[in-house]
Amino acid sequence: MTALRPLSRRRALLALGLPAAAVACGGTPGEPLGPADAATATLGCGPTDGVAVEIVVASGFQPVARPVAPYVRVTIARTLAALGPATYRPGDGVLAAAVRQPATGDFEAAAGGAVRVDAVEADNTVRGALDLRFPSGARVEQAFRARWVAGPPGPRCG
């Protein structure tokens, strides 16, 4: 088994599938992005190129692959079946990462905080909450109910 290793900020963002786009949030620290049920979840690639669950929280329901700012994208390096109730800490570079894209300006990776997954429902909807801090001083506090969006068969990681 290969040991997990922390990633540089650049590799972590690339692993999140963010070429030059990213994640966003409201202008006021702690301001919610939108309604809790506007989030989406799908299969993605984790920071070590393994399977992950990607959650996009935005001002309204949007496609996971190309959301429109402002939004936050969280990647948790777990399968959907293993996601269960837990708290993940973005910034550790191994299990979770989060980035925000404000309505204007550049994206940034979370510097601290937590992503709490409360449940994965029978229809694969992921329920939980974000409490994320960013280097700019922005903070995102947001409950979410991310509807599962099926993508192409299996992620193409690597």
Q: What is the pLDDT of residues 48-60, one digit of tens each?
A: 778 899 999 987 7
**pLDDT value at residue 4:** 32
Residue 3 included in any domain: no
Residue 156 included in any domain: no
pLDDT > 70? residue 126: yes
Virtual torsion, Cα 21, 59, 97, 102, nearest 10 deg: 50
- Report which of residues 29 and 1 the model is more confident about: 29
Residue 158 included in any domain: no
Confidence of residue 12 (pLDDT cuts 50, 70, 90): very low
**pLDDT value at residue 155:** 53
Confidence of residue 62 (pLDDT cuts 50, 70, 90): low
Residue 153 included in any domain: no
Residue 67 included in any domain: yes
Task: Give how many domains the chain has, as a whole number.
Answer: 1
**pLDDT value at residue 111:** 92
Calpha distance 86→18 (Å, rounded): 25
Residue 77 included in any domain: yes
Global confidence as pTM: 0.75
pLDDT > 90? residue 103: no
Contact partners, residue 84, CB within 8 Å, separation at least 6: 117, 119, 120
Domain residues for the domain of 69 are: 9-148
**pLDDT value at residue 24:** 34
Residue 155 included in any domain: no
Residue 123 included in any domain: yes
**pLDDT value at residue 21:** 28
pLDDT > 50? residue 98: yes
